[in-house]
Amino acid sequence: MKKILLLFFAALCIIIASCSKDSGFGPGSDPTLAFSRGYPAHGPVINYKPAPDGDDTDELLAVLTGAQPGSVVKLNEGIFHVGYLEIFGFDGTILGSGKNKTIICPSGLFDQNIQIARNLMPGWWRIIGGNVVISDLTFKTGDGSLVMEPDPWYNKTMTSLIIVNNYNQDYLADNPIPMNFLIKDVNFICGYLDPIDAYLGSDFNVLMPLWLGMDVWVPMSDIMLSKGKFEVINCYFEHGFEGPEIFSFGPEAVGKIEKCKIEKCGWGIYCTASYGSKIEILNNTVTNSTSYGIFLEDNDWGLMGNVIPEKRCEYTVAGNYLSILPETIGLIIKDNWGVIHPEIYKPILALIKNNQFNISDASTGINLLNNVGGQVRNNRFTGAGSSGVYVDGTMVSDPMGVEVGIGEAKNILILGNNFTALNASTADIILGDFSMNCTVVGNGKESVINNGTNNKIVGMKMKPGGGHVGPTIRDNLQMWPKGRHH
């Protein structure tokens, strides 16, 4: 019996050692590591160190594509230099040694135009399909342009770092199945770019650090909405034009952005063109966004004309902290399809609760624009700015930038919010000219301007409106002129 046990143990050692880049039981090669860290490993742990020649692209891709289902690819401490990667159907975990210990940097400039020629979203890592966990590492770009040549839309700004979807034209194109994607405890640290070379004269060298959605540059056929479960947990985004973006989710997709810190981005969180899905934005900290903290809308930028929504897209925005720069907006909910596609329009279903907005000069906490049935409950507003909550219709433009018309904000409920620490220069709550059938309930101390129709105001101090009131001094309701945006 002892001999049999010894033979079994020896065979087990050989199997485990063969799954490690290093021989023997190197650090990280024990499969119990994955379980101790809370990851659902049911395969080998592959221990990977930075390549001695300074370029990890080919070897890392070979490890990922050759890994057994359920494997943990354990990246040791150090700096990894990685070029463009396409990862299809990976089933496992890419696990670093810690956000400040495993650093992934570009190995050179990226040829975005080759990807555009294939009609794919340009990026650094393309992760399509599978059951994927990425954790405990940092993507760091450095300053300057990351691309070989400018592209027609974004100049020398890199379009994306990580692209994730359940399918593309090269993988499961005919029969997409849902994927599971979790990215947690990961840093995205983007760099600076000369505004002459950057998108819209900004100084961001990356447009979208993390893109969750369709992997298409220009749709040549009908788009199938994304399917699966996509989670972004406890990640850090620094100095991207955006933080994380969700695009093109359908009724079989759920998304979650939770406990993330987003700092010094143009738009902290951006979600759009999702129809019938459920998306949660929970307990994040968004600071120093130069335009918007969180922007949620239904604008498809003219890319998804085939889509007929089955039901409303549900957003829950709860427990977040937003510190808002002067003349910017904390949270925008904006419906466009009520004007552009009224015959198939399904309003965004927005529940905004238990958030804190620290606003500053000429800024606004929450804007509900053209929305129907949104709820603003139990939020806290502090600081000094234009207003806490602004509800109104606003102009909608088509993909070419031509103004189509102004929508209406209807049936909004504003209840139980705390404005006691807010010094609002205009009013705590503003119901604009194109608001209708909204209900506002206060405790008798808050101020409200009501220029709308059939709005019900309870326990609020009324203030004179004096015509159309904008949400900020510059009345910045429209997004920057983008020409085209994914």
Q: pLDDT tens digits for the chain (486 residues)? A: 333 333 333 333 333 333 333 322 222 333 333 333 334 445 799 999 999 889 999 999 999 999 999 999 999 999 999 999 999 999 999 999 999 999 999 999 999 999 999 999 999 999 999 999 999 999 999 999 999 999 888 999 999 999 999 999 999 999 999 999 999 999 999 999 999 999 999 999 999 999 999 999 999 999 999 999 999 999 999 999 999 999 999 999 999 999 999 999 999 999 999 999 999 999 999 999 999 999 999 999 999 989 999 999 999 999 999 999 999 999 999 999 999 999 999 999 999 999 999 999 999 999 999 999 999 999 999 999 999 999 999 999 988 889 999 999 999 999 999 999 999 999 999 999 999 999 999 988 899 999 999 999 999 999 987 655 666 544 544 434 344 444
- CA angle 36-37-41, nearest 5°? 80
What distance in Å separates the CA atoms of residue 446 and residue 96, rounded to the nearest whole number?
49
What does the alpha-carbon distance between residue 83 and residue 134 come to, in Å, rounded to a whole number? 17
Distance CA 100, CA 360 (A): 33
Predicted structure pTM score: 0.90
Q: Which residues pair with 125 in a beta bridge?
A: 85, 162
CA angle 246, 250, 256 (to 5 degrees): 45
Residue 120's pLDDT is: 97
pLDDT at residue 53, rounded to an integer: 84
Reported as type and span, the H/E element at residue 429 is strand 418-431
CB 165 within 8 A of CB 159: no
**The token pair that represents 174 in the structure block:** 């005919």
Q: What is the pLDDT of residue 24?
A: 26
Phi and psi angles of residue 392, each rounded to the nearest 5 degrees, phi first? -170, 170
* Rounded CA Rg of the chain: 24
pLDDT at position 156 is 98
Residue entry with tokens 């770092």: 161
3-state secondary structure of 456: strand
- Strands annotated E in 30-121: 45-48, 71-75, 78-82, 85-88, 91-95, 102-106
State residue 275's pLDDT score: 97
Q: Give the three-class secondary structure for 392.
A: strand
Q: Which amino acid is at 293?
A: G
Paired sense of beta strands 439-441 and 45-48, if any: unpaired
**Cβ atoms of residues 453 and 435 within 8 Å:** yes
Structural domains of the chain ordered from first start? 16-381 (2.160.20)
Reading the block at residue 92, the tokens are: 């496992």
Q: Write b or e for each residue in 57-82: b if 16 or more Cβ atoms lie within 10 A of its Cβ, otherwise e.
A: beebbebbeebeebbbbbbbeeebbb
